[in-house]
Each structure stands twice: as C-alpha cells, then as structure tokens.
Amino acid sequence: MMQSGGGGGYSSVGGGGGNNPTYSRFIPKGWKMQKVDKSFDEVCKENGWTYKMGSPNSSFERTAKIYDSDGNLIGEAHFGHKVYYGPGNKRIVTQDHYHLKSDKDNIHYVLPDKK
C-alpha cells in the first residue's frame, strides 16, 4: 500500500520544533545521524514523498521504500530495526529511522518515539 502526502522541498529532515520529542530506543554510537522532530508520515507529507511499507521479516523488522513525487526511489525507512551490540552480541531494537539515497554518507534520520 502506498502512503502519501502533499508539499514540497526537504524541510523536515531534522531539527527545530518545540514539541520536545523523545528518542528512547537504542542509537548506536557509530551512526552518522540527524534527529527529526516529526513523525515519518509528517515528514513524507511535507516533502511530497510516498512510501510503500514492506512485510515484517522473521524478526518483526519492517522497511519502507521512499519515493519522490515523480515516483523515483529516494530512500528507505527502517522500523523495529535490530543490531547486534554489546556483551554477548545481543540483538537490540534501534530507534526508527530513514536514509536518503542523495546523501554522500550513510546518514540516519532518526525519528522520534510515536505519540
């Protein structure tokens, strides 16, 4: 199913806002990241993006392909993404985030906790 919104530009890739969002899940120290203060749906709507949510895998992780207003694939979002970390190399759920293909580095746009 495609989700969509209106708008244009890239105004909500992070920063600003006075709603004091929280980021309670694990964020690996090695991530190049930018915190976003809006939900994924709000970011998509503001930027005129659509997305197609994939089915959960065996670990209940979900990904969504992100498309611009012309239908071009521009990124991917990760929900419930797990990494191996710490003593015993345990799997830990990371903060939901997305990546844009236009970035030269692997930047994680970290989404706030759901309200």
What pLDDT is recorded for position 19? 63
What pLDDT is recorded for position 114? 84
What pLDDT is recorded for position 3? 36
Over the stretch 11-61, which tens digit does the pLDDT of each residue have?
334 444 456 889 999 888 889 999 999 999 999 999 999 999 998 887 788
Q: Are 67 and 52 in contact (CB under 8 A)?
A: yes
* CA atoms in the 13 A half-sphere facing the CB of 80: 12
Chain-centre distance for alpha carbon 64: 9
- Asked whether residue 69 carries a pLDDT value surpassing 50, the answer given is yes
Higher pLDDT among residues 7 and 70, named by residue: 70
Q: What is the pTM of this model?
A: 0.77
